[in-house]
Amino acid sequence: MYDYITGGEFEQLMKAMPSATTDMSSVTVASALEANHLALKLLVLSVDGNTEDVVATILDFPLADYAEVKEAVEALTDSKKK
């Protein structure tokens, strides 16, 4: 997994959430999931050396493992933490 996110990648993630405003209550579940999948695709290079279908592979993880990956990705995409 990358250890940083670029401004361009961050903007791609924001574009994936067309309903998003500063009021996060307007974000739909579908747009949030779409943005999450895009973040996984952009930031996770491989799973156990396999670079194909990384998002599908992660979605097949047990929930605890999926949550760990998601948390790491969220840490990279949170502009306030850097």
For 17-33, write each residue's pLDDT tens digit.
655 455 556 667 777 78
Asked, for residue 33, whether it belongs to a domain, the answer is yes
pLDDT confidence of residue 11: 74
Chain position carrying tokens 């998003």: 20
On the CB side of 30, CA atoms within 13 Å amount to 2
Asked, for residue 1, whether it belongs to a domain, the answer is no
Backbone angles phi, psi at 50, to 5 degrees: -90, 125
Q: Which domain holds residue 32?
A: 7-77
How many domains, the chain? 1
Asked, for residue 2, whether it belongs to a domain, the answer is no
pTM: 0.69
